[in-house]
Structure 1
Amino acid sequence: MSLLAGLRERRARGELAVDLEAARARVAALENVATTMLGCVRSLVLDIDELGAHDIKTRLAQLTTQLRQGAEASEISETCAQQRSEILEFAERERDYLDRRDAELRRIIEVLSHGLAGVSQGAATYHRRLLDNGTRLEAASRLSDLVKMRAAITAEVHGLRTAIAERQVEEQTQAQALRREVEQLRQNVARAQTEARTDPLTGAANRAAFDEELARRCELAAAGREGFALVFADIDHFKRINDSYGHPVGDRVLTAFVEFLRARIRRSDTLARYGGEEFGVILPGAALRPALRKARRMNEELARSDWAVDLATKLKFTASMGVAAWQPGEGASGLVERVDRALYRAKHEGRNRVVKA
């Protein structure tokens, strides 16, 4: 029950006779008490039990009892003054307590601040470590990528080297095949050229090769390089050999005659089948007399030789020869004409002889 409610109840029962002045005094005292209590309450932050303010509660209870019992204003004012003094002491003790609590809180805050600073520093260190580890992991990842890239490049280079080696082997094989083909073509061309310039039966040069070489020798001689001599040889009575022994024997006679002449001339000399059973020999660097001696010696040896037709038959044959030396200003046709006339005279004079032009 509140103080005012108690006063009303007492006045209703007729227990309280209060004059106006006394009532005003009590109201003023109550206002002072309320103001003081309000100031105490405002200045307090913590519970007063924490400061050991049991005496203040007791005196407040006494003041309340005095008010309910209708004590005099002077007595209430005295009590309020004592209560004010005690409340001020209480407030002083509260401020000291609060100062101590503030200091303790400041120390706690300082400790917490240091702890937080340490935690922040540790967190920063941990963050840096995380960053360093991340950098290392990224570097390791890049290194792994580089290793993989290097392995891929190495494999690609190995594949390229293998492909190049295979290509080189293939190209070498193709080059060897091409060289063989070229060599075969060269041999074929050489063979074709040889065949084109060679008589197929006797192996001597043919008429075209003879004409070409004779023209070349005439040009060289005309240029003052080297003179030469020309010998025409014709097998005597060759038609009779063919008629008597047959053409195969006649072919063997032609071949044997070429072998006979080739064995007795130089490698630089040219032996050619001029036509039928007639052959020409070009002797580079030879004058008329040496050419005549060579022709007569060959003619005599041929006349003494026997040629086996078969196991039971031997054959002898002779040849007529015309010899001429190149003369300044003379062409191939003129030289051939002179040698041919000399050969004709040898035939006309009885065969098996050598006649100079």
Structure 2
Amino acid sequence: MGKMVYNFSAGPAMLPVEVMQRAQAEFRDFNGLSVSVMELSHRGADYMAVAAQAERDLRELMQIPDNYKVLFLQGGGRGQFAAVALNLMGKNAKADYIVTGQWSRSAVAEAEKVGTVRVLDGFEAGEGPRKLATSWDLDPTAAYVHYCPNETVEGIEYDFIPDTGDVPLVADMSSTILSRPVDVSKFGIIYAGAQKNIGPSGLAVVIVRDDLLDQACPNVPAIMDYAAMAKADSMLNTPPTYAWYLAGLVFQWLKEKGGVEAIGKQNQAKAELLYSYVDTSDFYENRVHSSARSWMNIPFQLKDESLNEVFLKEAKAAGLLALKGHRIVGGMRASVYNAMPIEGVQALVDFMDDFAKRNS
């Protein structure tokens, strides 16, 4: 066994070691069938049991009410930028989008192809690190209000659920789903690309309230049609079976860890460990307002940016991978999703402290 390596990639992100080990053990012989799970017919009894168990486990983890459908779809989170608009703008082609960063802006670009979008600033006015706004001039006749609870690029996260009254709230939870408890009943739709807290890239999970399944545009492609997919148990076409299987293993791992309440406490502790170090350092800084900081994606900058490349090279040699920040923000970014153990965050803090002492 080599040295311990911690992958801080924003996505595709690390999976739990236990999940990878189980998947490896089952890769060529699933349940004694002498074939891989990825070779099973998605309509056969053996795979249908895998799919059904994954849905049951996700429903249990998130306490999803019975009047919501759970869909396992293709296209990742970006595919849902278009799918949400196509499924909700059929009878009322206007929506409000609260924008706080790169991913909510990208969602706007897709929705504008379908209907009329009002873009609302997600921040309070002001200079310097900005607080998230808590209220907006929402259109009470809009088909829905969309927001991104956690922006991976900028490291910005809501610590509250926006109040949209009777207008359905739609959330892109790609980078925060399953990281802590959430009241699903406050949302019309929750969607998430899998490659951060659920499983491999390409899969998307959609949780949609039943009363919203008759709002689709007539030209919505069948593969994006939530009602059609719900009727077919997400198997209108051949789904990404191996990704769905791996997601199911992650759900089981989460249950073994005590569920989302237990993992939420761990995630909070990880974030507090790294933020606390950065805040007390005169070598590093975080430029996000303290009230809007993400638990999942923690950007930080070296005050002497000429040391960036040296930092990244030495971090990689120390087994700390994928710390380069997004090109829009620069600096560094540590993504600490559910699969990242607190030991990985401690190893990063120890390295950062050592690097600062050697380069101050």
Q: TM-score normalized by structure 1?
A: 0.18
Higher relative contact order (CA 8 A, sep 6+): 2
Q: Which has the larger radius of gyration?
A: 1
Which is strand-richer, 1 or 2? 2
Q: Looking at secondary structure, tell me which structure has more helix per residue.
A: 1
Q: TM-score, normalised by structure 2?
A: 0.18
